Amino acid sequence: MKRKIIFIVIFVFSGLIFFQNARAAVNGNLGESVFFVVDQKYDSSGRNQVQATLRKIGQRAYFYVEDNYFNSLGSVQQNNFLNAQNLLADEFDNVIYPKLTEFYGSEWNPGIDNNSRITFLFTPMADDAGGYFRTNDEFLVSEMADSNEREMIYFNAKHAVNNRAKALVAHEFQHLINFNQKNKVLNIDDEVWLNEMRSEYAPTIVGYDDVYDGSNISYREKHFLATPGDPLTEWKNISEDYGVANFFAQYLADHYSGNIFSSMIKNSKIGIASVNQALVDNGFGKDFSGIFSDWTIANIFNNCLLEDGNYCYKNSNLTGIKIEPTAKYDIFNALTSISIGGKIQDWSARWYKFSGENFSDKTLRLNFEGQNVSGDFKIPYIAETSNGETSLEYMKLTNDSGMSYIKDFGDKIKNVLVIPASHSIDAETVLASDDAKSFTLTVNVIDNSDVPQEELVENKTNFVKLDLPDGSLVRAKGDYKVYIINDKYKRHILDGKIFDFYGHLSWESITEVDPMILADYEESFLVRAMGDERVYEINGDKTKHWLNMSAEVFSVSGRKWDAVSVINKSERDFYIIGANVRF
């Protein structure tokens, strides 16, 4: 949730700066009823105060439930709620608290209430709210009139029995830790987007994103794929903000280790400067701007084989993630000229794909003109050949303007993907769309002979052949057959029911590729189940035939051992038994 960071009251004596002392110790008694101030923006009824009963005392936390909500539940629902709350209490004591405090550091303990236990308030909120943390609670009432004078987390009671409940608790607990580590210990307010990004990564630290189905990542994915161009450092407290924050966090951890997040919260800098300091502290040479560029490429390309391996997600749950281009343009006429005008906010990107065919001796010219002369734009572009080779270059800009030329477009080069992005170090937190920068991208086709010789030299490209990752689900454009890739082989998935035998296979993970790319893979029909040495040949009628022969006969027959795919027993048993093959 977005939080307004308040001015922290401090006292100065003899040159020393410190926070106001905590109140007398607060000790909760099971069954007690307490009035709490709540944020009416999130409350389901717009209230600013609720009454709640203490219904669970854990080793690390008190768990209060708002009375009206709990009393509105039937007896079965009340039991389900209390069971879910008990499970959350145990999870917080044994998993969330120890893992996050070890990673990020401690919350203020014993804190403003002079009690080592945290207070959780389960109260009904708007459906799309998971919970929140208020900095005001960390001050005495004499300093903040609406303070509850506790280390406190507010949780949407409607989500107590939700699969994501544990992840939401981890998210909010990081905010409590952040207040102590940044505001109290270092006396600084961090940028909201970076605070939220650390909270989005908290469920991953705890292990709640290891299984994709029902995870926080899976929930954020739909918002990220819908609006991948949402500015990373903008925070309007909407679903799109959480989507980009989560996926940038996953990418950062994939390539620069999760320790980056621990380093951020402990250094004395904020925002982008804090990220850069954490990178230096962990021995990395790339800065935030360079990583952001790599991430914009990874979001649409997601292949670890391109260039230095930075343009992909390594998390096994995200290897199939690819965004759609902002716009696609098919160029069939050599006289076509495309002009794209728009605005782009700092730390956001756009993805434009240009496709052409049946041209000869033609070049695609990219002409970019930015609004300012501050040099904030960085524009990578990717050229793809018809046989699957790919090359990555950057437009050479002077004062945010420049041209690039891609030779043999529509002949050797089939697609060109251009990714303009704004990188303004001076604007770490985007406050409004008024900060957006205007640009114009003009694309047209010219003769190869019209390209200045020096430009061809400067823009020469080195193409690399990209293999599909093992386990990829693919099908050729215009074809219904789905294949799974195993090294240099492809295996036809004969029935959609086979997806049910594997948790990671789904229709949504199928990638459509150029037929020429798929043609490079040799088709194999050979399989064996894990733990079973018998090799079967699978026929199109879904029958399996045991190759009842010696290894010597197998090799002499022209069959190859590396063409044998290892499947699970459920898939093996799915196929109908057919006649054995002996030669």
pLDDT (mean) for 92-103: 97
In terms of CATH, what superfamily is 327-465? Mitogen Ypm (2.60.120.510)
CA atoms within 13 A on the CB side of 111: 28
The whole-number pLDDT of residue 14 equals 29
Q: What residues contact residue 193 under an 8 Å CB cut-off, 6+ apart? A: 232, 233, 234, 235, 241, 245, 271, 429
Per-residue pLDDT at 6 exceeds 80: no
- pLDDT band, residue 179 (cuts 50/70/90): very high
**Tokens matching residue 418:** 């251009």
Q: What percent of the chain has pLDDT over 90?
A: 65
Residue 358, CB half-sphere, CA atoms under 13 Å: how many?
Answer: 5
For domain 1-188, give the CATH number: 3.30.2010.30
CA distances from 25 to 52, 113, 151, 153 (A): 20, 5, 12, 18
Q: What is the pLDDT of residue 34?
A: 96
Residues 6+ apart with CB under 8 A from 217: 204, 209, 246, 250, 315, 317, 318
Q: Judge whether residue 318 has pLDDT over 70.
A: yes
For the residues 450-461, what does the mean pLDDT come to? 61
| Inter-residue contact 133 to 175 (CB < 8 Å) | yes
Most trustworthy range by pLDDT among 278-292, 330-344, 450-464? 278-292
The segment with the largest mean pLDDT, out of 9-23, 83-97, 540-554, 557-571, is: 83-97
pLDDT of amino acid 197: 97
3-class SS letters over 544-560: EEEECCCHHHHHHCCCC
101: helix, coil or strand? Answer: helix
Q: Tell me what the mean pLDDT of segment 398-415 comes to.
A: 91
pLDDT score for 207: 94
- pLDDT tops 60 at residue 262: yes
pLDDT at site 466: 56
Q: Domain map of the chain by residue range?
A: 1-188, 190-324, 327-465, 473-577
Written as one string, the DSSP assignment of 461-473 is ---EE-PPPTT-E
- Write the Ramachandran bin of 111: left for phi over 0, alpha for psi from -120 to 50, otherwise beta: left
H-helix or E-strand spanning residue 199: helix 192-206
**Is 2 a residue whose pLDDT tops 60?**
no
- Kindly report, residue by residue over 202-260, the tens digit of the pLDDT: 999 999 999 888 899 999 999 999 999 999 999 999 999 999 999 999 999 999 999 99
For residue 334, what pLDDT is reported?
Answer: 83
Higher pLDDT residue, 213 or 147? 147
Q: Please report the pLDDT score of residue 421 as a whole number.
A: 94
Would you give the DSSP letter of residue 496? G
Helix (H) or strand (E) holding 327: strand 327-331
- What's the rounded mean pLDDT across residues 66-92? 97
pLDDT above 80 (res 116) = yes
| Average pLDDT of the residues in 462-478 | 72
Specify the pLDDT at position 99: 97
Per-residue model confidence as pLDDT tens digits over 336-373 = 899 999 889 999 999 999 999 888 889 999 999 987 65
pLDDT mean over 410-436: 75
CB-count burial class (<10 Å; 0-12, 13-18, 19+) for 101:
middle
Tokens of 496: 């959609």
> Average per-residue pLDDT in the chain?
88
**What is the percentage of the chain residues whose pLDDT exceeds 70?**
90
Q: Where is average pLDDT lowest: 75-84, 198-207, 388-397?
A: 388-397
Tell me what pLDDT residue 71 has: 97
pLDDT at 10: 27
Q: What is the pLDDT of residue 26?
A: 67
The DSSP letter of residue 266 is H
Closest CA to 396 of 458, 464, 442: 458
Is the confidence at residue 462, as pLDDT, over 70? no
- Determine the average pLDDT of the residues in 515-521: 78
Region 130-156: mean pLDDT is 96
> Of 397 and 24, which is predicted with more confidence?
397
Q: How many CB atoms lie within 10 A of CB 535?
A: 22
pLDDT: which is higher, 495 or 507: 495
Over 60: is that where the pLDDT of 136 sits? Answer: yes
Is the pLDDT confidence value at 22 over 70? no
| Per-residue pLDDT at 383 | 93
Q: Residue 18 pLDDT > 50, yes or no?
A: no
Tell me the mean pLDDT in the region 269-298. 96
Mean of the pLDDT values across residues 497-507? 83
The pLDDT value given to residue 15 = 32
